[in-house]
Amino acid sequence: MDTSILTETGQEAAQQAIEMISAWGMQVLGAIALLVVGSFVAGRAGKVTRRALERGKVDAQLVPFFGQLVHYFVLAVVIIAVLQLFGIETTSLVAVIGAAGLAVGLALQGTLSSFAAGVLLLVTRPFKIGNFVSVAGSTGSVVEITLFSTTLNTPDNIQIVIPNSKVYGTTITNFSANERRRIDLVIGISYDDDIGQAMSVIEAILAKEELLLADPAPTIAVSELADSSVNLIVRPWTNGKDFGAARASLMRALKEGIEAGGCSFPYPQQDVHVVSSETAS
């Protein structure tokens, strides 16, 4: 075989190899550079996001979550860009990832629903740790709020863990949201009692109770002429943290003070008229 032909063939192969290495080498170097720069940018984006959220006084549990979310999102964009450098079609890959994500989402629908509700609870803050709330049929003090559940301690010290999907999807009653609360009582006195005297006695009792507030002024008024009593509404105000103690103290003071003031608490009673057959005839 002619050695010149072999030499030319070898030279062509070497030239092709050099061109391939040169072309792919530049792509590989570009991909490596893009990965390095992209990783740096993703890390910086995550840190910037966390700092911005911390300055915005976002809940501490959400800060790392959103920081990682931004970090991995930027990283995913970088990886897709690297694949495109090598001529790989990423449209189908994104479609496959989207379909897989949809399947996982359907399988974890309840968990993801609680997760989304947890994010909304931490962002909107309808209550916070330490508040006394009624939610999803349970009442107690909030001891923990996570991305998936809310934990309450009932007044008799029973722990209740509620999925956030049920917490955010129902009516939330927050007894600790406002600084002051009103005590609503209905006091019944006898029809024979002097209403003005009874109201004066109640007013004096309210003025002596240390846990009650003078402003707003309490309300004392006749609310109903009931079957066995004249009902008076008594509505003083107190600090939210003193509500239970103030109500209990006031109930006792009203009972003792109204009786000492000459008024009475009538028992429900009915007049029964018995007509005999002889009388009827």
Model confidence pLDDT, tens digit, residues 139-162:
999 998 888 889 999 999 999 999
Strands 219-225, 230-235: pairing is antiparallel
Q: Tokens 């550079």: give the residue.
A: 33
What pLDDT score was predicted for residue 9?
Answer: 61
What pLDDT score was predicted for residue 118?
Answer: 81
- CA distances (Å), 110 to each of 99, 151, 156, 171, in order? 19, 18, 30, 19
The domains located in the chain, with CATH, are 13-107 (1.10.287.1260), 127-174 (2.30.30.60), 180-260 (3.30.70.100)
**Going along 97-218, which residue ranges are E strands?**
132-135, 138-145, 149-153, 159-163, 172-174, 180-182, 185-189, 212-213
DSSP state letters, 104-117: HHHHTHHHHHHHHH
Nearest CA-CA partner of 59 in 118, 130, 134, 140: 118
What pLDDT score was predicted for residue 105?
Answer: 52
pLDDT in tens, the chain (281 residues): 455 554 556 566 656 656 655 555 666 677 777 778 878 888 888 788 777 777 766 666 666 767 777 777 787 777 777 777 666 665 655 665 565 555 545 444 556 777 788 888 888 889 988 999 999 889 999 998 888 889 999 999 999 999 988 898 888 999 988 999 999 999 999 999 999 999 999 999 999 999 999 999 999 999 999 888 999 999 999 998 899 999 999 999 999 999 998 888 887 766 677 776 665 55
With contact defined as beta carbons under 8 Å apart, do 160 and 154 qualify? yes
Helices (H), 56-126: 62-85, 91-107, 109-124
What pLDDT score was predicted for residue 47?
Answer: 82
What pLDDT score was predicted for residue 108?
Answer: 46
Cα separation, 148 vs 131, in Å, equals 19
